[in-house]
Chain A
Amino acid sequence: MSPGRYLATLALFALGAMAVPAHAATVQIVMENMVISPAEVSAKVGDTIEWVNKDVLAHTATAKNGDFDVTIAPKKTVRSVLTKAGTVDYYCRFHPNMKAVLTIAP
Chain B
Amino acid sequence: MFVRLSIAVAALGVLTGAALAQGAKLTDPQIAHIAYTAGVIDINAAKQAESKASSKDVKAFAKDMARDHEAVNKQALDLVKKLKVTPEDNDTSKALSKQAADKLAELGKLKGTAYDKAYIDNEVAYHKTVNTALETQLIPSASNPELKSLLQTGLKIFQGHEQHAEHVAAGMK
A58 and chain B: residue at smallest CB distance: B67
By secondary structure, the A interface counts as loop
Contact with A along B153-167 (1 / 0, CB 8 A): 100110111011001
B167 and chain A: residue at smallest CB distance: A96
CA distance in complex: A35, B159 (Å): 12
Q: Shortest Cβ distance from A100 into chain B, in angstroms?
A: 14
Contact present for A94 and B71 (CB under 8 Å): no
Interface residue? B74 (CB, 8 A): yes
Cβ–Cβ < 8 Å partners of A56 in chain B: 71-72, 74-75
Contact present for A94 and B153 (CB under 8 Å): no
Known: A34-B153, A57-B68, A58-B67. Contact between A97 and B159, CB under 8 A? yes
Cβ–Cβ < 8 Å partners of B67 in chain A: 57-58
Cβ–Cβ < 8 Å partners of B161 in chain A: 95
Contact present for A96 and B160 (CB under 8 Å): yes
Contact with B along A13-57 (1 / 0, CB 8 A): 000000000000000000001110000000000000000000011
Contact present for A98 and B72 (CB under 8 Å): no
Contact present for A33 and B72 (CB under 8 Å): no
The residue from B71, B156, B164, B167 contacting A74, defined by CB atoms under 8 A apart: B71
A97 and chain B: residue at smallest CB distance: B160
CA distance in complex: A96, B157 (Å): 10
Cβ–Cβ < 8 Å partners of A63 in chain B: none
Q: Shortest Cβ distance from B171 into chain A, in angstroms?
A: 12
Contact present for A94 and B72 (CB under 8 Å): no
Contact with A along B50-68 (1 / 0, CB 8 A): 0000000000000010011
CA distance in complex: A58, B160 (Å): 12
5 A-B pairs in the complex with CB atoms less than 8 angstroms apart: A35-B156, A57-B68, A74-B71, A95-B156, A95-B160
6 additional A-B pairs beyond A56-B71, A56-B72, beta carbons within 8 Å, are: A74-B71, A95-B160, A95-B164, A96-B164, A96-B167, A98-B160
